[in-house]
Amino acid sequence: MAVGIFDSGLGGLTVYDAVSKRLPDVPTVYFGDNAHAPYGVRDADDIFNLTTKSVERLWEAGCDLVILACNTASAAALRRMQESWLPDDKRVLGVFVPLIEAMTERQWGDNSPPREVAVKHVALFATPATVSSRAFQRELAFRAIGVDVEAQACGGVVDAIEDGDAILAEALVRSHVDALKRKMPNPEAAILGCTHYPWMEDTFQAALGEDVKVYSQANLVADSLGDYLERHPKMLGTGTESMFLTTGDPKTVSDRATQFLRRRVEFISA
């Protein structure tokens, strides 16, 4: 009955942590493609090929349902996967939709026509690949009208977080917020469009100001997954064991993940 969670690196651990607390009885298999991280600077074909290979490994671990806890993969690969690659008995879900539903105050699965919403000026912080894909804007357009989105590609932030360089990460976040505010001086809401960014949420909030509502993904995705599984219980796979898989060096990845989650995590080679 396992569920898979995939990320190019360690950012998806924010989603894993929320899912494990929201669904403690569901075994979870986490896959980090750390050998090829970050995805945010890769082209769409490369992201698609790496993502599908990783998802197939999660299927081998008994996960019929996989969450792409990676905004870059969700933006650059998910639609193509769902339209031309995914078998009928498997599901792959992204992380954009739960966040957009929360921002536009929609219930899960509400596919009514787009309508006016309260928030009109939205700042999007994401990787270069996510920004160039315009996937967030596309999904938002299905649900809301009249919303101005200003996107800021946050180069270097993921690398700094993965390397454990908090000082550099904070400096980069403040620089990217400053760049965004030069284009959109008064955003009403901000989307942290990368699962690494929740570790920097306080820095984003401080740089944006307390009057800007910051939307982070982990808990929203966990709640959406719980709702999905209530509606589709057959999508729980055959896996019975929780585990952490990586394409990188297991010891290095385990040590970094332990620092992030503040509890011991042991990765094994995928």
Please report the pLDDT score of residue 237 as a whole number: 79
Domain identity same for 142 and 206: yes
Query: How confident is the model over 234-257, as pLDDT tens digits?
Result: 888 788 899 999 999 999 999 999
Q: How far, in Å, CA of 190 to CA of 121, rounded?
A: 9
Check 151, 154, 184, 194 and give the catalytic one.
Answer: 194
Please report the pLDDT score of residue 59 as a whole number: 96
Domain identity same for 88 and 7: yes
pLDDT at 216 over 90: no
Query: How confident is the model over 54-103, as pLDDT tens digits?
Result: 999 999 999 999 999 999 999 999 999 999 999 999 999 999 889 888 88
Domain identity same for 55 and 143: no
Check 58, 70, 129, 177 and give the catalytic one.
Answer: 70
| β-strand partners of 151 | 124
Domain identity same for 204 and 101: yes
Please report the pLDDT score of residue 239 as a whole number: 83
Please report the pLDDT score of residue 263 as a whole number: 94
Q: How far, in Å, CA of 188 to CA of 269, rounded?
A: 43
Please report the pLDDT score of residue 108 as a whole number: 67
Query: How confident is the model over 158-180, as pLDDT tens digits?
Result: 999 988 899 999 999 999 999 99
Q: Is 70 a catalytic residue?
A: yes
| Predicted TM-score of the model (pTM) | 0.90
Judge whether 10 and 33 are in contact, CB under 8 Å: no
In the chain, the number of structural domains is 2
One-letter identity of residue 98: P
Q: Per-residue pLDDT averaged across 199-220, rounded?
A: 95
Helix (H) and strand (E) counts in the chain: 12, 12
Judge whether 92 and 73 are in contact, CB under 8 Å: no
Q: How far, in Å, CA of 39 to CA of 47, rounded?
A: 6
Q: Per-residue pLDDT averaged across 148-167, rounded?
A: 94
pLDDT at 43 over 90: yes
Residue 49: CATH number of its domain: 3.40.50.1860
| β-strand partners of 190 | 123, 214
Please report the pLDDT score of residue 186 as a whole number: 96
Give the chain's radius of gyration (CA, Å).
18
User: Which residues constitute the domain of residue 227?
Assistant: 3-94+218-269
The residues, ordered by sequence, that sit 6+ positions from 226 with a Cβ below 8 Å of its Cβ are: 22, 23
Q: Token pair of 25, please?
A: 């009885």
Please identify, among 215, 242, 259, the residue that sits at the C-terminal boundary of a domain.
Answer: 215
Query: How confident is the model over 120-133, as pLDDT tens digits?
Result: 999 999 999 999 99
Q: Is 194 a catalytic residue?
A: yes
